[in-house]
Amino acid sequence: MSNESLANLLKEERRFAPPAELAAAANVTAAAYEQAAADRLGFWAEQARRLNWAVEPTETLDWSNPPFAKWFADGKLNVAYNCVDRHVEAGHGDRVAIHFEGEPGDGRSITYAQLKDEVSQAANALLELGVAKGDRVAVYLPMIPEAVVAMLACARIGAAHSVVFGGFSADAVASRIQDADAKLVITADGGYRRGKPTALKPAIDEALAKCPEVRNVLVVRRTGQETAWTEGRDVWWHESVGRQSTEHAPEAHDAEQPLFILYTSGTTGKPKGILHTSGGYLTQAAYTHHAVFDLKPESDVYWCTADIGWVTGHSYIVYGPLANGATQVIYEGTPDHPHQGRFWEIVQKYGVTILYTAPTAIRTFMKWGDDIPAKFDLSSLRVLGSVGEPINPEAWIWYREHIGGGHCPIVDTWWQTETGAMMISPLPGVTETKPGSAQRALPGISATVVDDEAREVPDGSGGYLVLTEPWPSMLRTIWGDDQRYIDTYWSRFEGRYFAGDGAKKDDDGDIWLLGRVDDVMLVSGHNISTTEVESALVSHPKVAESAVVGATDATTGQAIVAFVILRGTAADSADLVAELRDHVGRTLGPIAKPKRILIVNELPKTRSGKIMRRLLRDVAENRTLGDVTTLTDSSVMDLIQAKLPSAP
């Protein structure tokens, strides 16, 4: 990629200062940037003291064998103790940890004291089933409290969990179980989605035909639906966990004890098994959750709408919030059941103050209409977060206006499964925000943008996003494949972590994420980012969502092909397509005009809501589709292919 990526000509120039009241009482002020810049390792050593260590670390970073990092290596701690017991010991046992909202409307609130009992019981059950420190446990559950309990129980005994999205196919589950060599699978009879009980266990039964190493399946009863049973292998959670003692002494594990393996979402290729360890990971998850959301555990009600099968659910439902003693909402189901205002009803019901969701959800809410959130009292909200994809300026403004009451700061948080925790984001009490930009590396994090020759680009130019120093919650390797770890992340630029994302720095030096490097288009010698063309399309009043790809073209190298979902009542027509092409031409320049625009009803997305552009590129170039195992719904691809009868 050269420096000459398109200037950002999108018209959104508004800037939003932090609310004065929030800034005055903010957990983190501008001084944190200076402190961390002056002594980065000292800064992280101080953040590690947020945790309770059984043995305090004396060493911060061991980078003697790069790119294999060790953080706080001579320290020992128990992650589950830090997320649960210590809050009870500090007198907060009666504080609600989890307000669980089931899709059918059932629910329960679990205090920290109750969570401690449940996690201890589950830890005892795992031990009874022969799970030992260092083993792997696969978790395939709906969004129910037992998912959190299962993860913490693994952490407590030093077994690594590997959470697989509930709803992945049997094949996708089997390959992950095999790759991690899991001994135990924790699942449920089913979960509720879109108003119906949806079975989960059949996929496990099918997967396990290929996984002879799995000794037991621990099954949570959630829906009560009929479930096939393998005697001797399958065990009910309520029987096995329910009869255990609520006493379990947490052992102190090494800071580098593996905590979990998690597979990436697969938007760019075959998923990678990312390994995270304990002390550094928990330090950064806790610090960023405290800093970026300005969490006040005594008064905030926090809600992250992610699934625990995604890294966001690991770091910002389980580990960060619980390490910080937060009260949070966990919702089982879909946003449109039984009506399209379900999320806002939940915000109103629990008085949610901090909401963390994804651009894909925000664009869906835009499509459904402003009148839906307007029916609910959202005045409790004070900070809004976004994660997963670049957020289009149009969607950012909509989020602020229609959800944030025109006053909530928005934190657009850039990070990856590999980074373990947030890396680039505004701070709500410090940053003057810019719609569409993640802006600046967090205190203690070093990020920049470089060109093909690894030279840092000047302000106003684009290139590749790199991280220039190791960070506490960084992945330690790709599970079982150190060489792939080196090749994927540390070989493109000497001594720097290659994130795989394109980015640019604006004239103030703020960072704008431009989508995957693999997705950047080269049209008649110009680099054009998919993100910018998509944002230009979404800024048209009739467009709700779009995905743009570059398809091989005989004359221009690549031609821009756009897939567009319309808002509410807008109808497909040749005139509209021409209007959209002109709109992009006017917004970004004639070179960025899509050659083809296809109006579609759905886009292929991963379970975490990310658009899978590589599949659209396969379609646009008439190729057989690549790996579709992480798609939410693979029938979407048939519908899109039907729209494209001939070669481009």
Which residues of the chain form contacts with ligand ATP (CB under 6 A)? 264-269, 271-272, 311, 387-390, 412-414, 416-417, 438, 499-501, 513, 516, 608, 610
CB closer to ligand ATP, 131 vs 457 = 457
CB 386 to Mg ion: min, Å? 17
Token reading at 522? 């080269």
Beta partners for 564? Answer: 546, 599
CB 499 to ligand ATP: min, Å? 6
Contact 626, 618 (CB under 8 A): yes
Pick from 578, 569, 603, 584: which is nearest to 534 by CA?
584
Pick from 311, 309, 302: which is nearest to 330 by CA?
302
CB closer to Mg ion, 266 vs 404 = 266
Task: Indicate the pairing of strand 497-505 with strand 68-71.
Answer: unpaired
Beta partners for 98? Answer: 110, 328
Beta partners for 235? Answer: 218
Residue 101 belongs to what H/E stretch?
strand 96-101
CB 425 to ligand ATP: min, Å? 8
Binding-site string for Mg ion from residue 264 to residue 293, where x marks contact by CB under 5 A and - marks none? x-----------------------------
CB closer to Mg ion, 204 vs 274 = 274
Pick from 539, 602, 404, 530: which is nearest to 1 by CA?
530
CB closer to ligand ATP, 255 vs 423 = 423
Contacting range for Mg ion; rule: CB under 5 A; set: 28-36, 263-271, 405-413, 526-534: 263-271
Interface with Mg ion: number of residues (CB under 5 A): 1
Q: What is the DSSP letter of 517?
A: G
Which of ligand ATP, Mg ion, none does 87 bind, CB closer than 5 to 8 A by kind?
none
Contacting range for Mg ion; rule: CB under 5 A; set: 22-30, 260-268, 598-606, 608-616: 260-268
Binding-site string for Mg ion from residue 213 to residue 252, where x marks contact by CB under 5 A and - marks none? ----------------------------------------
What is the distance between the alpha carbons of residues 504 and 318, in angstroms, rounded to a whole number?
Answer: 32
CB closer to Mg ion, 51 vs 615 = 615
Scanning the structure block, which residue is given the tokens 């039907």?
642
CB closer to ligand ATP, 321 vs 388 = 388
CB 73 to Mg ion: min, Å? 27
Contact 62, 470 (CB under 8 A): no
Token reading at 416? 């990856």
Q: Which residues contact 424 (CB under 8 A, 6 or more apart)?
A: 413, 414, 415, 438, 439, 440, 441, 442, 445, 447, 511, 513
Which of Mg ion, ligand ATP, none does 387 bind, CB closer than 5 to 8 A by kind?
ligand ATP
CB closer to Mg ion, 264 vs 535 = 264
Q: What is the dihedral of CA 386, 48, 36, 69, to 10 degrees?
A: -90
CB closer to ligand ATP, 121 vs 392 = 392
Distances (CA, A) of 555 to 455, 525, 552, 559, 618: 31, 11, 9, 9, 19
Residue with smallest beta-carbon separation from Mg ion:
264
Contact 126, 154 (CB under 8 A): yes
Which of ligand ATP, Mg ion, none does 516 bind, CB closer than 5 to 8 A by kind?
ligand ATP
Token reading at 155? 């952490």
CB 268 to Mg ion: min, Å? 6
Q: What is the DSSP letter of 5?
A: P
Which of ligand ATP, Mg ion, none does 27 bind, CB closer than 5 to 8 A by kind?
none
CB closer to Mg ion, 264 vs 606 = 264
CB 514 to ligand ATP: min, Å? 8
Strand order in the sheet with 107-111: 107-111, 96-101, 327-331, 301-304, 354-357, 383-386, 410-412
Which of ligand ATP, Mg ion, none does 501 bind, CB closer than 5 to 8 A by kind?
ligand ATP
Q: What is the DSSP letter of 465?
A: E
Which of ligand ATP, Mg ion, none does 271 bind, CB closer than 5 to 8 A by kind?
ligand ATP
Q: What is the DSSP letter of 441?
A: B
Q: Which residues contact 65 (CB under 8 A, 6 or more apart)?
A: none
CA 187 to chain centre: 22
CB closer to ligand ATP, 102 vs 271 = 271
CB closer to Mg ion, 264 vs 477 = 264
CB 516 to ligand ATP: min, Å? 6
CB 388 to ligand ATP: min, Å? 5
CB 275 to Mg ion: min, Å? 15
CA 234 to chain centre: 31
Contacting range for Mg ion; rule: CB under 5 A; set: 199-207, 258-266, 373-381, 601-609: 258-266
Token reading at 295? 């969490």
Which of Mg ion, ligand ATP, none does 414 bind, CB closer than 5 to 8 A by kind?
ligand ATP
Contacting range for Mg ion; rule: CB under 5 A; set: 96-104, 256-264, 462-470, 585-593: 256-264
What is the distance between the alpha carbons of residues 502 and 531, in angstroms, rounded to a whole number?
Answer: 10
CB closer to ligand ATP, 306 vs 523 = 306
Task: Sort 345 into a burial class: Cβ within 10 Å, 0-12 / 13-18 / 19+.
Answer: middle
Token reading at 93? 């046992």
Return the number of other C-beta atoms located less than 10 Å from residue 264's C-beta: 22
CB 264 to ligand ATP: min, Å? 3
Which of Mg ion, ligand ATP, none does 610 bind, CB closer than 5 to 8 A by kind?
ligand ATP
What is the distance between the alpha carbons of residues 468 and 446, in angstroms, rounded to a whole number?
Answer: 5
CB closer to ligand ATP, 264 vs 357 = 264
Pick from 535, 546, 551: which is nearest to 587 by CA?
535
Which of ligand ATP, Mg ion, none does 598 bind, CB closer than 5 to 8 A by kind?
none
Which of ligand ATP, Mg ion, none does 489 bind, CB closer than 5 to 8 A by kind?
none
What is the distance between the alpha carbons of residues 294 and 630, in angstroms, rounded to a whole number?
Answer: 33
Contacting range for Mg ion; rule: CB under 5 A; set: 62-70, 216-224, 262-270, 502-510: 262-270
CB 90 to Mg ion: min, Å? 37
Scanning the structure block, which residue is given the tokens 């029916």?
375
CB 264 to Mg ion: min, Å? 5
CB 366 to Mg ion: min, Å? 26
Question: In 554-627, which residue ranges form alpha helices assigned H by DSSP?
Answer: 574-588, 613-620
Contact 214, 208 (CB under 8 A): yes
CB 137 to ligand ATP: min, Å? 21
CB closer to Mg ion, 264 vs 539 = 264
Which of ligand ATP, Mg ion, none does 254 bind, CB closer than 5 to 8 A by kind?
none
CB 262 to ligand ATP: min, Å? 9
Residue 287 belongs to what H/E stretch?
helix 279-292
CB closer to ligand ATP, 84 vs 361 = 361
Which of ligand ATP, Mg ion, none does 388 bind, CB closer than 5 to 8 A by kind?
ligand ATP
| Binding site residues, Mg ion, CB under 5 A | 264
